[in-house]
Structure 1
C-alpha cells in the first residue's frame, strides 16, 4: 500500500491512519518518495526537513497505537509557504537576504496545524516576500507547472500549489493578498481558498489589524481543503481581528452537500474590465451552467468592480510599505518586484489612501447589493491560461495590452479589496490540456458553502492528474 498512499486523498489518509490501516510513518515515506521523484522536475519544495518529519510521524504513530485523541490532520504531511515562520525550519521569504534565517517560533497558523496533528515536512517556493504573481526568486529559481513544465504555476503560493497538485503532499498551506492562493490553484488544477480576514490567526505576520493578507488551504479536492481548513481556524485572543468560525466542521458541511437546489448564482466573465481569454470564458460559463443540473439558478450578470482597481493599487502600496517598514533601508537588496512595490508605496499621501478607502466602500456596497440577490458570484479565477515560465507576467489579456505585473490578476484582487472569501476550483481544461479555474465568491464566513459548491463543480468537471506527473 505504501507506494499508493501518495495518490490517496487527505480524507482517505486520515481514515486509514485512524483505523490503523496505514501508519503516519508509512504515509510520510510514501510522500517523501514522491518528493524525490517530482521535486527535481518542478522545484516546489525548497527546504525539506525529513528528520524532523520522521520524528513527528513516529510520535503520531505512537499516539494512534495508544488510543490518544487524534486531531483532524493527524499524521498528514503538510508543507508551509516560505513566507510563514516555522520554528527550527529555515524561512527565507524567498529572499537572498534571509537565506540562512531559522525562526525560533512558529506562526500561529503553523501552531494550529501542528496541534491538529499535521506533520510539517518542508517549505515551498515563493517570490521574494510573496511580491509576485509568479513563483521565481534569486535564491531558488523558478517553480514549474506540472501540466507543462515550460509554463508558470502563477504565484505567490505556486510552490504549495505544485506540491499538492503533484502528490508530493496531500495538503499545502498558502497565503493570499492579491491572488496568491486562487490563481496558483487555477493554474495547477486544484482547490484553493482565500479565507475571510480574521478566520485564521495571522500572528507571526506584520500588521495585526490587516485583513488583506490571509492564510488558506490548497488541496486536490474540496473535501480535502475543508479538512485542512478545520485544522487552521479558531479564535486567537491575542490577534486583534481574530474571529471563531461560525460552524463546527467545514468538512461535515461539504460532505453533506449533494446538490445546489435553490442556490442563486451570478456569473460575470469580466469584473475588472480588462477582458478575458475567450476559451477561458467559454469553459467557465459551461462549468457554471452545469450547476443547473444540480438545482442551481444561474444568471449571467454585467457585474463590474472595476472602480476598485485604482484603490487596490493604492492600498496595496501602503500595505507593502507597512510589511517592509523595518527593512526600508534594505530596498537596494530586494528584487525589482518587491523593491518597486515598496517605492511606489512610499510616494503615496494621506489624501491618496483616504480617497482609496472611500472608493473601496463604494465597491463593497456593489458586492453587498449583489449578495442581496444572489448566494454566490462566480468568475474565471484567471483571465488567461498558464503563461510561459520566461515571462514575469502575461502582457496581454483578451487582446488588451498590459504594462505591469498586477493588472492581469484584477479579478482576484478586487475580491481581496472588499474582504470577501473566495474559492478557486478547476472547471475544465483548454484544448491544450491546461486546467481552468472558477473563482467562487460568497459573503464573509461562507467558506464551507463555497467548498460545497466547489465539490459539485469538481464532480461535474473532473480533470484528472497533471500531465507531467
Structure 2
C-alpha cells in the first residue's frame, strides 16, 4: 500500500485532486492492486467536498467519522489479502431520503432535521457489502417532492455547469456532486424522473432500473412499482458496476424480482450496437420540446449509425400519461404521508400541495389513471416489438434559474402543473421499463443535454451498453469546466 498518492502512475493519478475525481471502475482497480489506499481516497474526497462544494451546496452531511473508520477497515482488508467486493474502498454519496445508520437523514424536512437512523436502508447495506464507503448525504427536495433541489433545512443546490441554474431533482445533490467531481458514485431514487432529470441537467448518467430489480426498503408503500432506487455516476460503466452491487432479490420486498445483475459491467463493455434497431422519438409525452434540445438529441441518436445501429425517427404516443401520472403520484404521496397529516403546516409548499391534491382525488380518477397506464403499456410493448431501443430527449427545456420552482412554459406553451415539464421522464416511469439519461452533448450555451435510453424490462445491459457507446461517440466533459481542476 502506498503512503501517498504521488506514487500512483501519472497516467491515472497525479495528485489528491485527481484521486478524488477518478471514476469508480478505475478507483476500485487502483485500490485492489494497492496503487492507492482507501484512506488516501477518503481523505482526498472529504477534502475536495470541504473545499469545492460551497458554491453548489450538493452535500448536506459529510460522514467524516464513519467514512474514516470504514476506510481503515477497508485498508486492513486489502493488506491482509481478504476477499474484496467490486466497490471496495470506493466513496459513494447517499441521497438524504435514504436511511443511513448513524448518519443524519433528514428527508429534506424540518420534521426530521435531527433524525439519525439506527439502521441502513437495504440499498445502503448492499453498497457497503460490496465495499463502498459512504462519505456524504446529498441534498434533495423535501421527501423528494420536486424536480428542483431545495428545502428549508439545507437550502438550494446549484448546477456546477452554471451556479445560477438548477441542478434538477430530486436527486439533484447527487448529480451536482458528480458533475463537480466530489466523488464517483451517487445513490438516488426515481419516481417521476428523479435520477434522470438531474443527470440530464448536470451531464452525468442516471439509471432508473426495472421496478423490483433494486431494493426499496424500508418503504411505506412496499407494493408500489413507481418509485425505485438506482445509481448515478459520470460513466455508464460506473453505473453498471454499482448495479451489480445493489440489484438482486430482496425477501423484504413483495415486488422483488428473482434476478441479479452479475456480470453487467462485462456485458456493457462488450456491448455492440451493430444491427441494433433504434427508434428515435422527439416528444414521447406530447408536452413539447425546445427546438435546440430536439436537434441536439436527434443528431446524437443518428451518431449511433456510425456504430452499425439502424436508427429510425418514429412516434410513440404516451401523452395519456400526462393525466394519469399526477393522479397516481398524488395517491402515492397521500398514502406515504398519511401518518403525518397533523403536521402538514410544517411542510414545504410542494409537499403540502401534493398531499392536498391526493386528498382531493376521487376513486373514478384513480381507476381512469390505471386504465390509461394499461393503454400506455400496450403501446410500449408494440414499440419494442419493432425496436430494440427507444431514444428520446430526457428534459424538454434547458436548466432554468435556480430561484424558479419550475419552468412555466415549453416552446411557448404553458404548463398545467409544476411537474408537467418532466412528462418525458414520468411517462416512461408509468410503463416500468429501464431508462437512463446519458449526455448527448452541449447546447448553444454550453450546458449539458441528456438523451433517454430505454429498453424492454430487464434490459439494463442494453440501456447501459447504448449509453456507453453514446459516451464514446459523443464525448462530453464528465466534470463541469469550473470544477475540472
TM-score, normalised relative to structure 2: 0.95
- Map Cα deviations across residues 188-222 of structure 1 (whole Å, 9 max, x no partner): 00000001111111111210011111011110000
* Count of residues in correspondence between the two structures: 468
Give the deviation of 1:246 after TM superposition: 5.1
Structure 1 consecutive aligned stretches of length 4 or more whose deviation exceeds 2 Å: 244-248
Aligned to 1:466: 480
Aligned to 2:406: 393
User: 1: CA distance between counterparts of 2:138 and 2:167?
Assistant: 13
SS of match in other structure, 1:234: coil
1:319 aligns with 2:305: no
- Map Cα deviations across residues 26-63 of structure 1 (whole Å, 9 max, x no partner): 11111112112221111001011111100000100000
User: 1: CA distance between counterparts of 2:21 and 2:93?
Assistant: 17
Aligned to 1:234: 248
- Map Cα deviations across residues 277-325 of structure 1 (whole Å, 9 max, x no partner): 0000000000000000001011101221001211111111111111111
Aligned to 1:149: 163
SS of match in other structure, 2:254: coil
Which residue among 345, 348, 359 is the counterpart of 1:335? 348
SS of match in other structure, 2:72: helix
Matches within 5 A, 1:175-254: 175-245=189-259, 247-254=261-268
Which residue among 144, 154, 161 is the counterpart of 2:175? 161
Aligned to 2:419: 406
Aligned to 1:67: 81
Alignment check: 8 A CA contact 2:46 2:62 kept: no
Aligned to 1:271: 284
User: 2: CA distance between counterparts of 1:327 and 1:425?
Assistant: 37
What is the RMSD of the two structures over their aligned residues, measured on CA atoms?
A: 1.0
Gaps spanning 5+ residues in structure 2: where? Answer: 6-14
SS of match in other structure, 2:137: strand
1:56 aligns with 2:73: no
Matches within 5 A, 1:12-51: 12-51=26-65
1:80 aligns with 2:89: no
Aligned to 2:11: none
Which residue among 346, 360, 383 is the counterpart of 2:396? 383
1:139 aligns with 2:153: yes
Alignment check: 8 A CA contact 1:381 1:438 kept: yes
1:365 aligns with 2:378: yes
Alignment check: 8 A CA contact 2:300 2:474 kept: yes
SS of match in other structure, 1:111: helix
Aligned to 2:8: none
Aligned to 2:107: 93
